[in-house]
Structure 1
Amino acid sequence: MEILKYIALPIYLILLGYILTRLSGKKAVSQMHSYDLVFVTVLGSAISEPIAQDSAWKATWYSLAVVLFYLLLSRLILINKFKSTLTATPTVLIRGGDIDKDGLKSVKMTIEELLGELRIKGFVNPADIDIALMEETGKVSVIPKVNNRNKQSSDPEFTPKPAFVSIPVIIDGEILHHNLKFVNRDENWLFDQLQHWGIRKQDIKHVTLAVFTQDGSLQVDNDDTHDHEKGINNYKPGNEN
């Protein structure tokens, strides 16, 4: 029966680690599939712990069992019947320029982190994004709106504009007074701009993000997600369509 322990324990550790990793969210995976991350972690433990106890045989057997089970998972993930169970589908973070707060919450990402991901990819305003997704690997993929896609210097009528990072003045319903001061604006200007968007002062808590743009106006994203879920042009990778 001792041999069963050498088989069952590695499988149990991988399954437990896989479940805990999936529960922790895609950010914790950070560019690895959930089972890849668990494999590396468990394999390291399987090798180091028995060796620390002067048991090379246990280290060899545990490591072999972990690798074999990992290879089995790698095969199962190629079968459609098991793919949806073993993998996570992409999560929508932005759709049609609107930030999806439910998507951010599900992947445990803040608006500030989302803006940082956009800047890394060369975009400064969520309103310019057609769709942004967090993939299963934890990476954020971004597809800009057609009229905001980068032109090449050889394109006709190409005129580069100076770089400008849109400055947040409201995040999650909270006014960023230091940024308002930085752009030489006050709350009166802010509330006046919000009125143009049909947002009253008392409804500011519903503003997900408001940014000061290059032309000196206010771009607002509120809790109104609009109707971006219909039509063939709004396909999202994965099995949740």
Structure 2
Amino acid sequence: MPEWLEIILRGLLLLMVLFLITKWLGKKQLSQLSFFEYVTGITIGSIGAEVVTGLERNIMHGILGIVVFTAVPFLAGLISLKSKKFRDIIEGKGVIFIKDGKVMEDNLKKERYTTDDLLALLRQKDVFQVADVEFAVLEETGELSVLLKKENQALTPKDLNMLVAPIKEPQTVIIDGKILDEPLATIGRSRNWLHTELDKLGVTVENVFLGQVDSNGQVTVDLFDDTLEVPSPQEMPLLLAAMKKCQADLELFALSTKAEEAKQMYEKNSQKLQGVIDKTAHILMS
């Protein structure tokens, strides 16, 4: 067999073996590597390259070496699940860089991070002033987790004592001009409903590159032709406008009627409707 053909066959075989092993180890090998896993990954890659190009070596010996270096981190992972001390040794622990708004210089030096390194990590979190940070810790994966001071955190509906409806993930119902029935069934909608919503936007299914339905039942689309403008969904703003008109009409009826009982009824319902508007306006305007 020619050497070039043997290298190709070895490469394909080792690539398949490494692919299956990586799938078996899980996604953590692709994202959050510990020091141990990092070293193991480099070693497995080196073995694979050596087996592919070293034609005089037995390919099964290389596969056996890869299996050994795969089994070690797998077993270490199992032990880590049961022993925190072992996990701390293998995966390491987070290191505090900022505490109570103060930079921990000793910890920076211990991890061999400079001030510029810390500032760069903060900028990756959209933080440009150390004074804005209450707490920051360098995780085992090398990522910086940041807690801003209370006055620098974004307001949430909870801070304002506002009740908001739960948000569900949007469902993709159209891809490449084709309707997907399973996502439609998930939200309890039909094809006829979808065609009606598309008619409101003035588009057809064939022109839609991507179509999604949000948790409020509104359809948003991206067209193949990027020069065309698609109007934004108007159901929610129109509902808010209708509620405001009803509330204004109730106030007008209360002012124009001479019957005291009817006047009190109009005023009471006007106040109730205004309360509903105040609670839902931020949702209907979004």
TM-score, normalised to structure 2, is 0.41
Question: Which structure is larger by alpha-carbon Rg, 1 or 2?
Answer: 2
Larger % of helix: which? Answer: 2
TM-score, normalised to structure 1, is 0.48
